[in-house]
Amino acid sequence: MLKNIWRRLKIDLNAKDLLVKIEDNRRKMVELGLSSSFLDERVVKMSYELDKLLNKYDEVAYRNGKR
């Protein structure tokens, strides 16, 4: 039972950490895109990283039953 509680807590913490990273990445990507171009190679790379973070969050949320 304690193992399940610890697992759920760990998943919840991972989800919150991912949400913070997602928002930070999104904000930086938009700022860079507005100051340069959304076709800038750096913005495209940040978009790719954001996509990976969103997919990871989706996996964590699915495992935690929040999807």
- In this prediction, residue 38 carries a pLDDT of 94
pLDDT class of 65 with cuts at 50, 70, 90: confident
- Please say if the pLDDT value at position 37 is more than 90: yes
% the chain with pLDDT above 70? 79
Q: Terminal CA-to-CA distance of the chain, rounded, Å? A: 23
29 in Cβ contact with 46 (< 8 Å): yes
CATH numbers and ranges of domains, the chain? 2-63 (4.10.280)
- Please say if the pLDDT value at position 5 is more than 60: no
- Please say if the pLDDT value at position 43 is more than 60: yes
Overall pTM surpassing 0.85 (yes/no): no
